[in-house]
Structure 1
Amino acid sequence: MNENHWSNIAEAGAVSGIRFLLAVYRRLGRLPFRVCLYPVILYYFLFRKSSREASLEYLQHMRAEGRLPSHRSLLFQSYRHFMNFGESMLDKLAVWQGDISLDALEFHNHEVFDNLARQGKGCVMVGSHLGNLEICRALAKRNTNVTFNVLMHTAHATRFNAMLTRANSKAHVNVIQVSDISPATAIILQQKIEAGEFLVVAGDRSPISGQSNASEVSFLGELCHLPQGPFILASILRCPVLTIFCLRRETEEKPFFDLYIDHFADRILLPRKERQKALQQTLQRWADLLADYCEKAPLQWFNFYSFWYRQSTDSHSEKSADQ
């Protein structure tokens, strides 16, 4: 596997780090947390060259597509991008601590979700690393009869789940390790859908199993690969698909979020003879939707790794030529 693949990059949200920051936030509050966080973010911005370059690449695409103002330097925007990531960490801790109430959220299209919950129907909710996906905790609080299962690629899923349960045992949110969905895992997920539970999965990171499980799409004006997994899973489970985005309002002094839920499909149909074509069309719809929401909050898409297909392909070719 490529050592630069996102799954091999240690993120700032490691379990031990989150545990420390949670302790700081719990005992000292938001301001001391920021005091601890800002030097860390500055260090990452200055010394994590690959992350900084990935941020700049994304912002360049946003600007080229007319989705980002051009009156500020990209380097300054990149630093703000990193700072937004730091703020998102604080917001995640506050969500799991139970300190962000429903009053700090404005729900958009909530009736789409409510209708399924009222009927006891489970579904797949496709999210992303745009904004704060952990805000589904608030959905669980708003709909106490609904259980959410967040599908994560992490070897720390079990410990992470236990830590969040200790932070708030009434979260109604489970974290499930899904680096490889075996038949046994598929059966478990099917049982959860039949029980009216919701599966939340990110759909904006290339699969660790390789590009054979991805579709090539246009995203912000250039080709990239997006994972087929969330939509293949929804097809297998024969359930509705919703999308979820939770964006922080930058104009608010106190944390305030807009939670968007959109109906994506009643069912994902993948005819055997046109399977790849159907997947590509589905993934392109998802890429277009993700781009539209990135425009709403351009500094809240937290993918600090090389994302676009052309760059990764060219880099690989250059490395091969040098060897």
Structure 2
Amino acid sequence: MSTHSPPDRSIWAQREERSNFATLRLMTWISLRLGRPFGRVLLRGIVLYYLLLAPAARRASRAYLARVLGRRVRWRDVYRHIFVFATTIHDRVYLLSERFDLFDIRVQGGELVDAALAAGRGAFLVGGHFGSFEVLRAIGRTRPSLRVAIMMYEENARNVNAALATVNPAVKRDVIALGRPEAMLEAREYLDAGAMIGMLADRTLRQDGGDTLLPLEFLGGRVGFPLGPMRMAAMLGRPVIFLTGVYRGGNRYDVHFEALADFSETPRSERAAQVDAAVARYAHLLEQHCRQAPYNWFNFFDFWRESAPTPSEIPPEHTQRERTRTTGTLDA
């Protein structure tokens, strides 16, 4: 049994969203009344305003872009980065309004979702703070039996969610609020009913930062990726599908579904090793997509510093494996 103590509550979870409910409501109203092109014009001004008044996000964007682009980051690179983020938020207004005619959405790997639906035991759809998760709503239009419950901390985007809820109150949003003991039981109920559980796995599941982190190489740095999401999938014995909704400019999104792991028949004795392997594959896929579509990364804080694992966060079994590999290398 691990005796490591949980680290302090993660900084991203403490940070209040930089948004104003009245402004969001106004932007939503304008977008729906005057159309998407006019809304995009306003969005450019809002992004410029944000860029000037959010130095921490600006610095985080530069640090990330320097890693992924491998060159000197220019001011327009940072502007483009934040604009892509703002655009995906803006597009959620139209996706929630079921204006799917406004979008060119191309799907790869949709057969993985169809297979999971046919099996009737549900699956985990795991993404990251990369691209748009909301485009999944458009995919559901062609798959009436697809139901997705999102596991999230609602308070971290309370204003955005409240404003978007006014767009189409008839749209049912299945949310499993994290931070409660019953969250796991609710997830099992959804899965048993054949639903999917959607979650973002690049940040800890617990707001107190108590998830164990697995240290991995990511975009040239050492990052601790949380084991919690994969451990949950392993405990519930379900397949895991990696999901990204990549914004490609204009009205186009590319949705990718990729097989990540399947814990349906994983023996308890092999669970820890397979969880580690799944997290490593998740980090690899996320890095791959970052390099292919760099401006779709939406972690606007120092991801490497704030995600770096301390010795107490590294699982004992992983530490032992690292020690064994190092010893073996030295002996050779």
TM-score by length of 1: 0.82
Distance (whole Å) between structure 2 residues aligned to residue 271 and residue 118 of structure 1 = 26
Distance (whole Å) between structure 2 residues aligned to residue 273 and residue 136 of structure 1 = 32
The percent of aligned pairs where both chains have the same amino acid is 25
Higher relative contact order (CA 8 A, sep 6+): 2
Distance (whole Å) between structure 2 residues aligned to residue 148 and residue 104 of structure 1 = 22
Distance (whole Å) between structure 1 residues aligned to residue 145 and residue 287 of structure 2 = 33
Q: 1:103 to 1:114 in 2, by over 3 A?
A: farther
Q: How does 1:250-289 map to 2 (within 5 A)?
A: 250=249, 253=250, 255-267=251-263, 269=266, 271=268, 275=272, 277-289=273-285
Judge conservation of contact 1:149–1:199 (CA < 8 Å) in 2.
yes
Task: For structure 2, list consecutive stretches of 5 or more residues without a partner in the other structure.
Answer: 1-6, 311-332
Judge conservation of contact 1:108–1:259 (CA < 8 Å) in 2.
yes
> Counterpart in 1 of 2:297?
301
Equivalent of residue 197 in structure 2, options 196, 199, 209: 199
1:186 aligns with 2:192: no
> Counterpart in 2 of 1:67?
none
Q: How does 1:235-246 map to 2 (within 5 A)?
A: 235-246=234-245
Q: 1:163 to 1:117 in 2, by over 3 A?
A: farther
Give the SS at the match of 2:131: coil
Q: 1:258 to 1:166 in 2, by over 3 A?
A: same
Q: CA RMSD in A?
A: 3.0
Distance (whole Å) between structure 1 residues aligned to residue 50 and residue 10 of structure 2 = 17
Equivalent of residue 31 in structure 2, options 19, 25, 31: 25
Judge conservation of contact 1:206–1:225 (CA < 8 Å) in 2.
no
Show CA shifts across 1:132-167 (max 9, x none).
111111122221122111111122789977765653
Distance (whole Å) between structure 1 residues aligned to residue 202 and residue 22 of structure 2 = 25
Instruction: State the Cα distance separating 1:14 from its structure 2 match.
Output: 6.5
Give the SS at the match of 1:112: helix
Indicate the larger mover: 123-132 or 226-235. Answer: 226-235
Paired letter, 1:290: L
Paired letter, 1:130: F
> Counterpart in 1 of 2:69?
63
Give the SS at the match of 1:132: coil
Q: 1:78 to 1:92 in 2, by over 3 A?
A: same
> Counterpart in 1 of 2:84?
84
Indicate the larger mover: 153-162 or 228-237. Answer: 153-162
Distance (whole Å) between structure 2 residues aligned to residue 137 and residue 257 of structure 1 = 12
Judge conservation of contact 2:24–2:163 (CA < 8 Å) in 1.
no
> Counterpart in 1 of 2:112?
112
Instruction: State the Cα distance separating 1:9 from its structure 2 match.
Output: 2.1
Q: 1:166 to 1:140 in 2, by over 3 A?
A: farther
Equivalent of residue 16 in structure 2, options 10, 16, 32: 10
